[in-house]
Amino acid sequence: MLDRVLSEYRGKVRLVYKDFPLPGHTLARPAHEAARCAGAAGKYWEYHDRLFQAQPNFERADLLRYASDLGIPAEPFAQCLDGGRFRGLVEADIQQGRLLDVTGTPMFFINGQRIEGAAPFETFKAVIDEALRNVR
Amino acid sequence: MRGLMRWLWLVSLGLSLTGLAPASAQITEREVRLTLDPAMARGSPTAPVIIVEFSDYQ
């Protein structure tokens, strides 16, 4: 659905992804850290898409295999993941979400306007169109 | 990561009830400073509309 938004509003909309692994999802946090490690190798969005396809298989071996499948060098990726290189940045995203009263996912903010949950395209269109009118 | 991180401001609008009657509701603004990693963004950097998505892989 967000692909459609980005396609239909090309040049007018930018999507920013923020990590918000929920407390009960014990395997989610390393998955978010792994995605950032993939980003360091220039493959953030490919890995991101792979994780959504692979839910909920996020054991360490799974995360390493997804990286390998995408051609990400194994050793630096494993060092990044095991060393917690991006642990602090994932935690920072969580804290920022909490400041915005994010309690569930997905949660969207379109120029500050909140949309909770997986809303249909028409909901996004209405909010984006209003935001575009406001910036003109 | 130095040089890769940018900042953006997000204004979250919410309703704060100041009394029992809906007519007494007033809009409050909250400003939160968010980090932005360009590697985790898609679309034009100059786009006038920014969608921030908080999400969980699991």
| Alpha carbon separation from A115 to A49, A93, B16, B52 (Å, rounded) | 22, 18, 18, 10
Express each pLDDT in A9-34 by its tens digit.
999 999 999 999 999 889 999 999 99
B44 touching A (Cβ < 8 Å): yes
Give the count of domains, chain B.
1
To test the contact with chain A by mutation, choose from B7, B16, B32, B49 the residue with the greatest count of A C-beta atoms within 10 A, namely: B49
Whether residue B29 contacts residue B16, with contact meaning beta carbons closer than 8 Å, is answered with no
ipTM rounded to 2 decimals: 0.94
CB contact under 8 A, A20 and B42: no
- Residues A15, A5: Cα–Cα separation, whole Å: 9
Tell me which amino acid residue A35 is.
Answer: A
- Report CA torsion sign: B31, B46, B50, A124: positive
Express each pLDDT in B7-30 by its tens digit.
666 655 443 333 333 444 444 566
Give the count of domains, chain A.
1
Outline where A41-105 has alpha helix (H): 44-54, 60-69, 74-82, 87-99
B13 touching A (Cβ < 8 Å): yes
> What is the reported pTM?
0.86
Domain residue limits at B48: 1-58
- Report CA torsion sign: A116, A30, B6, B48: negative
Nearest to B55 among A12, A40, A106 (CB): A106
Domain residue limits at A40: 2-17+25-135
To test the contact with chain A by mutation, choose from B10, B11, B53 the residue with the greatest count of A C-beta atoms within 10 A, namely: B53
Task: From chain A, pick out residues whose CB is under 8 angstroms from the CB of B28.
Answer: none
CATH code of the domain in which A6 resides: 3.40.30.10
